[in-house]
Amino acid sequence: MAMTGVDPARQWLDWAWLLMTDRFIPIAEARYRTSAPTIPESLEPPDGRLVDRLGRRLHDLRISVTDRCNFRCGYCMPREIFDTAYKFLPHSSLLTFEEIERLARVFVAHGTRKIRLTGGEPLLRKHVEDLIAMLARLRAPDGEPLELTLTTNASLLARKARALRDAGLHRVTISLDALDDAIFRRMNDAEFPVSDVLEGIEAAQAAGLGPIKVNMVIRRGINDDQILPMARHFRGTGIILRFIEYMDVGSSNGWRLDDVVPGREVIARIGAHFPVEPVDRRYVGEVAERWRYIDGEGEIGVITSVTQPFCQDCSRARLSTEGRLYTCLFASEGHDLRALLRTGASDLMIANAIGLVWQRRQDRYSEIRSEASVSRSQAGQKIEMSYIGG
């Protein structure tokens, strides 16, 4: 998709027209910097081959459907920040299901083949299965269905798994940071037992939402003694356990490098008890480094965005709860697509605006994290993971 530049004066005139229409909806969320997407002067239909400045395709779209969660995990929504006084977005600020479906259709035209619903906790969004049914009807230009997935803490999964599968969801990824109840509650800072998460996993298996992946975020000195029990529990079940290095997402989780357990250490701990061997990635852009048990009892993965960044293959865009486009999990600024939706922009205009954002993309935060010239303070306020999804 070829894009041309635009006269700044024309851009401001375009936005002035949008602001003067009675369809303009003011931005409700002012915590994070946002910019008005540029609509190129020359509009061209998307050709499905959109790439950024580093040659990375737009293959994956992660959509946050709510900024609310019933857990208060310290690495995502620490209670000292997200307390009872915290102001979540009003419902009117959220993208409607119809708006989400419309944007997803535009992303698919650009080459997106996988959509993941996230949050917050996505199952807290009322009637989310209706949205899944709408997205399940989308088709790529070649007629193939999309891969449709959802990440959840499983607190509501036991009661919703069948409805999610019937609506067209393919599989789920479940967050579980410990098997020990006391450690699990310390991690999620909520009165929610491990047994309920395991019940949700069983319900998802019974409903056919697989292969199921279980994500464990590891913090040294807090839950790293659960690495081996978790590996032992899920061996031979067909469930893929993935260990995630504790990341400096957002500005509220008090991240320290000393809290990170490197992926190579995780593999060494497990391998000492259950020998493993590396497995090739399934596709370019897959985030997890894959390993399998030599005795054939399944597969595990490690996500090493701190110690072994994979920015060079990143093919993911993120859509916030209120319709802002982010091109990196560690971004500090978004692009307001909701304003385009609610002020009369056509699908072609929106497609070209998204195309220009992606073509200008050169994010590689994890790769430059350790450079002396870059510090967390210099990076500014990064977007919270609960706002754009992990």
Tell me the C-alpha distance between 169 and 203, whole Å: 14
**Cβ atoms of residues 268 and 279 within 8 Å:** no
Cis peptide preceding 122, ω within 30 of 0: no
Kindly list the distances between the CA atom of residue 26 and the CA atoms of 18, 117, 204, in Å, as whole numbers in the listed order: 11, 25, 40
Residue 331 lies in a domain: yes
Q: What CATH code is carried by the domain that includes residue 211?
A: 3.20.20.70
Residues 6+ apart with CB under 8 A from 329: 247, 249, 316, 318, 365, 385, 388, 390
Residue 311 lies in a domain: yes
Tell me the C-alpha distance between 303 and 241, whole Å: 11
**Ordered per-residue pLDDT tens for the chain, 390 residues:** 544 444 444 444 444 444 443 333 334 456 678 888 999 999 999 999 999 999 999 999 999 999 999 999 988 888 988 999 999 999 999 999 999 999 999 999 999 999 999 999 999 999 999 999 999 999 999 999 999 999 999 999 999 999 999 999 999 999 999 999 999 999 999 989 999 999 999 999 999 999 999 999 999 999 999 999 999 999 999 999 999 999 876 555 556 788 899 999 999 999 999 999 999 988 877 889 999 999 999 999 999 888 887 788 899 999 999 999 999 888 888 999 999 999 999 999 999 999 999 999 998 877 676 554 444 444 456 667 667 776
Structural tokens at position 191: 């009165």
Tell me the C-alpha distance between 306 and 248, whole Å: 9
H/E run at residue 204: helix 194-207
Residue 34 DSSP SS3: strand
Q: How far is CA 43 from the centre of its chain?
A: 29
Q: Which residue has the tokens 């080459």?
A: 111
Residue 121 lies in a domain: yes
Beta strands 114-118 and 60-64, pairing class: parallel
**Cβ atoms of residues 152 and 132 within 8 Å:** no
Q: Which residue has the tokens 């220009």?
A: 356
Residue 2 lies in a domain: no
Phi, psi of 294 (to 5 degrees): -65, -30
Q: How many domains does one find in the chain?
A: 1
Q: Which residue has the tokens 């737009």?
A: 58
- Triad 271, 277, 279: Cα angle to 5°: 135
Residue 335 lies in a domain: yes
| Structural domain containing residue 189 | 8-388
Kindly list the distances between the CA atom of residue 370 and the CA atoms of 281, 302, 306, 309, 376, in Å, as whole numbers in the listed order: 25, 20, 9, 11, 10
CA neighbor of 188 nearest in space, from 76, 347, 95, 284 = 76
H/E run at residue 242: strand 240-245
Residues 6+ apart with CB under 8 A from 325: 37, 317, 318, 319, 334, 335, 337, 354, 357
What's the pTM value of the predicted model, to 2 decimals? 0.88
Residue 205 DSSP SS3: helix
Cis peptide preceding 263, ω within 30 of 0: no
Tell me the C-alpha distance between 215 and 266, whole Å: 14
Structural tokens at position 338: 């909701």
CA neighbor of 214 nearest in space, from 229, 46, 255 = 229
Tell me the C-alpha distance between 17 and 43, whole Å: 18
Residue 3 lies in a domain: no
